[in-house]
Structure 1
Amino acid sequence: MGSRFLIFIFPITTLFFSCTHHTEDPDLLKIALASNNSKIRKVMDSLDQYELQARYTRIDRNRDSIIFTDFNFQVNDSNYFYPASTVKTLTAILALEKLNEMDSLDRYTRFYVEGDSIETTFANEIIKIFAVSDNEANNRLFEFLGQDRINMSLKDKGIAPVRISHRLSTENAFEVTTKPLIVFLNDTTLSWLKPSVNKPAVPLALNRIKKGTAHYEENTLIKEPFDFNLKNYFPISAQNEVLKRIVFPEQFPKSERFNLSPDQHSFLMKAMSDPPRDLGYDDMEYYDGYCKFFMFGDTRDTIPEYLKIYNKVGNAYGTVTDCAYIWDRKNNVEFILTATLLANKNKIFNDNSYEYEDIALPFLAQLGREIYHLEIARKQRQ
């Protein structure tokens, strides 16, 4: 069982299922992972290969109080996995926070990054981050923030361990000097936001920081493990902490919250949950489950209106991750689920040969469904 706590949340790191008291409340994560469903069993029968980590947070309400109970499977901050696009949550929310400090700017301010051909708004880039996980949208906000500000902001809020060191899928990923932004103060007046100079990344000293047996560099096969020591680091425990602060800010002291106005918070929650079809994207290419791996990642079904999923996914180098708050208004069910697994059977990185469709997405989708149905049954027993 998991440990029960109110208001303050402390990471629990285990090598297997968390187990303490409260025997009247079963560990739904343990039950879900013991499912005989083949999508679950394929991973659970080869745990060393898939490097699975998962945390399920049960949510109970007692009048005005919210009680979180975390249940863990193999969650260990010292065992590295590549967080991929899950880090975009940080650039999105911290961009909103920074805008609060600037009297002349808001999320609808038009801007462009020096050297970029795209003129956009902060709101548009945040929406693209959650709707279709746009890398360029993330990188534009990264230029606005800089890695030092991201890391310091998280540290000040007690969110750890985290290390953001680079942009995503771009040649200047590790450049420490950000590009200046040109913002439109009105239709005729431009302002130049000066760049920031950030600290270079220090190599991470973590378990499993080198992965596989070989990797490709510019179409050349290097017969050595792929080294992630300079990459972003955003483990399960930190992702869980960030999501709790986004969805339930009132459960944290002000010093540990993200500094968002009520209007910004509503905007962020909507951006995190709206399916791409509601934002003008082609639903044949960007179907509801495109960025909703739990419950819908292996299907093209439409998410029902009564079910809201506030989340951010990531997949790269064979690692697939989702961190989600799932809320069913019809059945009065809510929970947080975070999981990651590595689907790279041949142990070669950068070869674009990963088992996303065969293993990773079906597993995460089924895990979400298992927890969801167990939660409905739990509510019916109450």
Structure 2
Amino acid sequence: MASDSILVKIGGISTEIKMGEIEIDQIIFDEGNPRIGFHKDTQPFTNLSQNQIIFALSNKNRDAYAKLKENIEVNEGIVNPIWIEPIDHEIYRVIEGNTRLLIYRDLREKYPYKDFFKTIPCRILPAKITEEQRNFIRLEAHLRGTTPWDAYEKARYLFFLWNKEGYTYSQLANQTKLTEKEIVQSIQAFRDMEDQYLPKYGNDPSEVLKFSYFVEYEKNNKLKDQMNKIGLVTSDFCDWVGNNKISKAQDVREIYHLLESDQVREIFIKEGFEEAKEILGTIKPCLVDPLYQNIENVIEDIKNIPSYQISEMREGQQQSKKELILKLRDEVNRFVDRYLMEENT
């Protein structure tokens, strides 16, 4: 039953929500859950049944599901209440927390004589909240949620809000704690896959796991500039990914080196990244030295650290990451002072 009420702002609107324990059989799953968007898109029917939603949730990321289930089982409950809205007399729909509700159902079946998993802690929204408020809750929870939400589904939801709901990049940045640049890159990477890659190479649903290749591509202006210079376009990149010319997303950062030489480029397009890189090593050894490759990758990673992680480090929430970055700074400064500056003495 619902108990205490609190007043919170959701999407800029002061909203009274109730806190309480609701019987899990009174709550249905959300067909609009962004985590299962790709699964829904690939089905031949418009609406998903509750059983189909359950299948999608439990098979989306089995390792993450099992880990969260184990934590809830050991703790005998959840720490973060789920968000629900009333849709009928004593029937509610999940806005955020579908996976946790499913785990409660699993654990109730495993422990039928225990009361822990018969009801679930909820934040109960008032009837008839706006779609903008629903989107706000999903954005806040799903982009930094309880269980990992893969990058493709995040980008898909950002694209939906931008393209269908009319959100501006600025509005999405304010609500997600991402920068406008990060949002633009994510949306464009989604469009690359949706418009050009998946229609040609998307027979296997696992192809969406290559989304990180397209994020790296959209972040890499050096690569796109080099491709443009020699008359290559995004569809060429799609073919490289689809034909397994690139074995991992991180390799995308180095492709522009392979395209600079006619000889190496031809080998890359015909045989793939590793074979071309081997030839590149004979022409420009410094470009394939592991140390300097790692340095180049670290530079790119630091340049692209999500803005919300930087905010968390400033606020002391990511202390171990902050300490590593400061240690890196100290080692680089020490190396420069000790060795490179000797040239001037």
- What TM-score do you get using the length of structure 2 for normalisation? 0.26
Question: Which has more radius of gyration?
Answer: 2
Larger strand percent = 1
Relative CO higher for 1 or 2, CA cutoff 8 Å, sep ≥ 6? Answer: 1
Larger helix percent = 2
- What TM-score do you get using the length of structure 1 for normalisation? 0.24
